[in-house]
């Protein structure tokens, strides 16, 4: 696997490509203790600058964790495309009524009474650094490349990994 560290514009483009194509991430909070708190989250919106907006209940464990420490890790994983992204950043909590009005959909009724539910908060994640893994090929093709390497000893390219310096 080759290493491909990306900076500024290229890093942001790769980050946006991966965050927009992978529907759900694991949000990890309480990073300074064991165990960390993890919960699957689906973004409500991903802005062009890389910030990600989520809805969350004010009474949730991760909201309580974020009130004490804004440090957050997001893990994006798509096993079908073999694309993975780990992003570190900080998350702020608000109850911005304009954002809630803009982003609320009927699907959110599964977690909230309605858009006026007093427990709705908007989590705004701001990325600082990331690492990605991208094999750009399916599992069978990757296994064939690994078998070729095992037989011949010649290295084959099975994808890229690298840091995204945002």
Query: What's the pLDDT tens digit per position in 32-57?
Result: 999 999 999 999 999 999 999 999 99
Q: Which of 56, 76, 104, 73 is nearest to 16 (CA)?
A: 76
pLDDT for 166 beyond 70? no
Cβ-contact 37, 95 below 8 angstroms: no
pLDDT digits (tens, 9 = 90+) for 4-19: 777 889 989 999 999 9
Q: For the chain, which domains are there?
A: 2-165 (2.30.110.10)
pLDDT digits (tens, 9 = 90+) for 16-33: 999 999 999 999 999 999
Cβ-contact 155, 149 below 8 angstroms: yes
Q: How far apart are CA 88 and CA 28, in angstroms?
A: 10
Q: How far apart are CA 86 and CA 71, in angstroms?
A: 13
Q: How far apart are CA 54 and CA 121, in angstroms?
A: 8
């Amino acid at each position: 696997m080759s290493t491909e560290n990306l900076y500024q514009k290229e890093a942001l483009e790769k980050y946006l490509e991966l965050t927009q194509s992978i529907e759900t991430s694991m949000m990890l909070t309480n990073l300074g203790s064991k165990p960390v708190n993890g919960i699957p989250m689906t973004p409500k919106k991903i802005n062009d600058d890389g910030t990600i907006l989520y809805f969350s209940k004010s009474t949730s464990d991760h909201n309580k964790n974020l009130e004490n420490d804004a440090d957050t890790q997001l893990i994006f994983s798509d096993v079908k495309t073999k694309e993975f992204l780990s992003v570190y950043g900080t998350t702020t909590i608000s109850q911005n009524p304009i954002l809630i009005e803009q982003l609320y959909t009927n699907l959110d009724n599964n977690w909230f009474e309605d858009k006026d539910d007093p427990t709705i908060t908007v989590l705004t994640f701001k990325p600082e650094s990331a690492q990605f893994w991208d094999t750009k090929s399916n599992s069978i093709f990757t296994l064939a490349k690994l078998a070729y390497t095992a037989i011949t000893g010649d290295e084959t390219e099975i994808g890229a990994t690298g840091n995204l310096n945002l």
